Amino acid sequence: MNHSARGDDVPTALRDARSTSWSLRADAGRRLANAAEDPEVAGVLHRLLLDGQDTAVTQETAEALLGRGDVCGLRLVLVARAVADDDAGDHLAAALTNVFRQSDAGCERLDTLASALVSDADPSVAEQARRVLAPW
């Protein structure tokens, strides 16, 4: 998919994702979440989810992806969670709580999405989905 087909904002957000400013990177993560199906965008989102400079970027990007309320967004977060260090992992877990675990409806939605990923072809995603489904 070319940049114009993805929307005018995607090229700018891709550029901002490389910024030295944490706030621009976090904003880029929020904006790029809408185009997460695009492989190029997904790669950039993965990098933002594991941002080594500021965990605010990690959490903002994760919350935007999870806010989509779909398997694609959750899968990207779980892929990152599988390889995240403890600090980033804590922020990814916090994003799951902030987006889904504030209401019964949110918990049900998370269970539905995670259930779909338990049989994912990537064993690390399947394991993370099982962890999400485990009682906490």
Give φ, ψ of 36 to 5 degrees.
Answer: -65, -20
Q: Is the pTM of this model over 0.75?
A: yes
Query: How much is the pLDDT for 64?
Result: 98
Contacts 24+ apart (CB under 8 A), 7-13: 7/34, 7/35, 10/35, 10/38, 10/41
Q: How far apart are CA 70 and CA 45, in angstroms?
A: 16
Query: How much is the pLDDT for 136?
Result: 58
CB 66 within 8 A of CB 95: yes
Check the CA dihedral 94-42-127-54 and report its sign. Answer: negative
Query: How much is the pLDDT for 9?
Result: 87
- Virtual CA dihedral for 7, 3, 59, 94, nearest 10 degrees? 80
Query: How much is the pLDDT for 68?
Result: 97
Report, as ranges of residue numbers, the positions in the chain whose pLDDT lies below 50.
1-6
Query: How much is the pLDDT for 81?
Result: 97
